[in-house]
Amino acid sequence: MERAMADACAEGVKAVVFGDLFLTDVRAYRERQLARAGMRAIFPLWGKDTATLAHEMIRGGLGARLTCLDPRVMPRELAGHLFDEELLERLPPAVDPCGENCEFHTFVFAGPIFSAPIPVEVGETVERDGFVFTDVAPTNPNSLPTRTRLVARAGG
């Protein structure tokens, strides 16, 4: 991340936007790391109700799949599932609809800020280190713009 942020800063990027909602320790970490690179963090969703936000994102055209989940709090068969209204209905009551307590993580492949959806394929699902992971990858990563490939390799 440090190298990717240094490259972005050299290209004139001054800030990075994060979708964090309420984990203050994560926010503080991101702010510290970016400050070291001479950048600032922006949190436009901070404090927003996650149930409302999840439905708004889906209605707004977000396309995402679950890539990792914690099987202690979620059914294993939801790994790889689309982030959609059906998923929200199937989540156990204790699971945050946006996965803000690390119940799940997603790969976003479409949305209003994308010029076009990224075609993806869902691969193998495996369980290791107490989590369930599903491979989700662009069907042709070489067709993505160079910047997108850089960010994807940097883990962002």
Tens of pLDDT, residue by residue over 142-155, are: 666 554 443 444 34
Confidence of residue 2 (pLDDT cuts 50, 70, 90): confident
Token look-up 């790889």 returns: 80
96 and 68, same domain (yes or no): yes
Q: In terms of domains, do 65 and 27 share one? A: no
Is 139's pLDDT higher than 70? yes
Question: Is residue 40 domain-shared with residue 54, that is, in the same domain?
Answer: no
Q: Which residue has the higher pLDDT, 87 or 115?
A: 87
Q: How many domains does the chain have?
A: 2
**Same domain, yes or no, for 35 and 106?**
no
Q: Residue 141: its pLDDT value, please?
A: 67
- pTM attached to this predicted model: 0.77
66, 80 contact by CB (below 8 A): yes
| 42 and 7 in a common domain | yes
- Tell whether 81 and 143 lie within a shared domain: yes
Q: What is the pLDDT of residues 117-132, one digit of tens each?
A: 999 999 999 999 999 9
Considering the domain architecture, whether residues 100 and 58 belong to the same structural domain is answered as: yes
Say whether both 147 and 107 belong to one domain. Answer: yes
Please tell me whether residues 92 and 146 are part of one structural domain.
Answer: yes
Kindly give the pairing relationship between strand 15-17 and strand 104-110: unpaired
For 88-110, what is the mean pLDDT? 95
**Residue span of the structural domain in which 15 resides:** 1-48
Q: Is residue 33 in a domain?
A: yes
Do 44 and 93 fall into the same domain?
no
pLDDT (tens digit per residue) in 25-70: 999 999 999 998 899 999 999 999 999 999 999 999 999 999 999 9
Q: What is the pLDDT of residue 144?
A: 60
Is 156 among the domain residues?
no
Give all strands (DSSP E) within the chain, no chain letters. Answer: 15-17, 40-42, 63-69, 104-110, 120-128, 131-138
Same domain (yes/no): 33, 61: no
Given a cut of 50, whether residue 156 has pLDDT beyond it is no
pLDDT mean across residues, the chain: 89
Residues 65 and 131 in one domain: yes
- Whether 140 shows a pLDDT value over 80: the answer reads no
